[in-house]
Amino acid sequence: MTDYFHLNADPDQILAISSLGLAHLGDGVFELMVRSWLCLHGKATNKGLHRATVSYVSAPAQARMTEKILPLLTEEEQGAFRRGRNAKPHAIPQASSREEYQTATGLEALFGWLYLRGETGRLNELFAAMMEG
């Protein structure tokens, strides 16, 4: 049985996943991390948890936070980020610019890529750097 909480996918399997597929997975990983962070840090009451989560997972917020980690990325991680950033989305939400949306998609693809590789320690490092300050 596959343990979906502790993955270590084959590199060829990961390459076979589309950029938008990686971003789709990474979106869920990032949102779960944000929700966990909010609950553990008492940052929002029950009533405001959804609103607080949205304030972190929106494309403009993700784009701003991504700037904090870009200098920390390895060459391989930069490749995963670029792969997502350069994907051609079907539509861009009105609340974000094309650049913000592409940056957010790059972040999500990076998080999906790291998750599939089983690099949870690295995910935690990057997430902590994003959430500082």
Say how far apart CA 27 and CA 57 lie, in whole Å: 8
27 belongs to the catalytic site: yes
Nearest to 107 by CA among 82, 132, 74, 131: 82
In angstroms, what is the C-alpha Rg of the chain? 14
Structure tokens at 107: 């972040």
Cα angle for residues 92, 90, 20 (degrees, 5° grid): 100
Options 3, 10, 12, 27, the catalytic residue: 27
Helices 49-57 and 59-69, axial angle in degrees (round to 10) = 60
Residues, the chain: 133
Positions annotated as catalytic residues are: 27
